[in-house]
Chains A and B, each alone.
Chain A
Amino acid sequence: EIVLTQSPGTLSLSPGERATLSCRASQSVTSSYLAWYQQKPGQAPRLLIYSASSRATGIPDRFSGSGSGTDFTLTISRLEPEDFAVYYCQQYGSSPILTFGPGTKVDIK
């Protein structure tokens, strides 16, 4: 089973700042099959990024993903008020077992 580690656990930033979130895998993620999700309180998760760097439909271009192998990054170029949320990475390369990271909370400084 691939274990995902996310850092930092909490990121305190102000609107307009840049956010950089990290996701590290315990072994290489096949074909960069890594996704990022955003979750706000009381809501279901929303897919932001798939295949490490492809934006899902309707996701603003201030969200970008990068990385390969075991190290992946989600970048939010300029934080908007609606971006303060919890972000999860997920790998789907090791079929049939999928795993999520523990999450990074982005809160308002």
Chain B
Amino acid sequence: EVQLVESGGGLVQPGGSLRLSCAASGFTFNDYTLHWVRQAPGKGLEWVSGVSWNSGTIGYADSVKGRFTISRDNAKNSLYLQMNSLRADDTALYYCAKNLWSSYYRSAMDVWGQGTTVTVSS
């Protein structure tokens, strides 16, 4: 079974840092682009960042550029999101999602985790 499991969320003060992880199983991890997508309470989906299979293509939403860093460890089947200088409007449920198509950055997302919650508050 293809599975994505996020972890690392929690309560952090404004200006603080947090590192999210996504553990993957059930597919050939190093063939696929992966993404982070977030959803603030009661709001819609917001794409945050994506990294291609070989880390050769990386993208960030303008709202997080310069503060968040995406990375992956293909040996550990894991995706990460390092979040620095956190703000109240970063409060959200953070999903990890896998591309439908292997070897392409541009693809829909066919498998999603259940998310990990980040709360930024003093």
Give the B-binding residues of A (Cβ under 8 A): 1, 30, 33, 35, 37, 39, 44-47, 50-51, 56-57, 86, 88, 90, 92-93, 95-103
* Residues in B neighbouring A93, C-beta threshold 8 A: 106
For the complex, is B41 an interface residue (Cβ under 8 Å from A)? no
B114 touches A44 (CB 8 A): yes
**How large, as a class, is the contact surface on chain B?**
20 to 34
Residues of A close to B115: CB separation below 8 A: 44
Within 8 A of A (CB), among B99-117: 100, 105-110, 112-115
Residue numbers in B under 8 Å from A100 (CB-CB): 37, 44-47
State the Cβ distance, A5 to closest chain B Cβ, in Å: 12
B59 contacts the other chain (Cβ, under 8 Å)? Answer: yes
For this complex, 8 residue pairs linking A to B, each with C-beta atoms less than 8 Å apart, are A35-B108, A45-B109, A90-B108, A95-B59, A96-B59, A97-B60, A98-B35, A100-B37
List the B side residues contacting A98 at CB < 8 Å.
Answer: 35, 47, 50, 59
Q: Are B114 and A1 in contact (CB under 8 A)?
A: no
CB distance from B6 to the nearest CB of A (A): 10
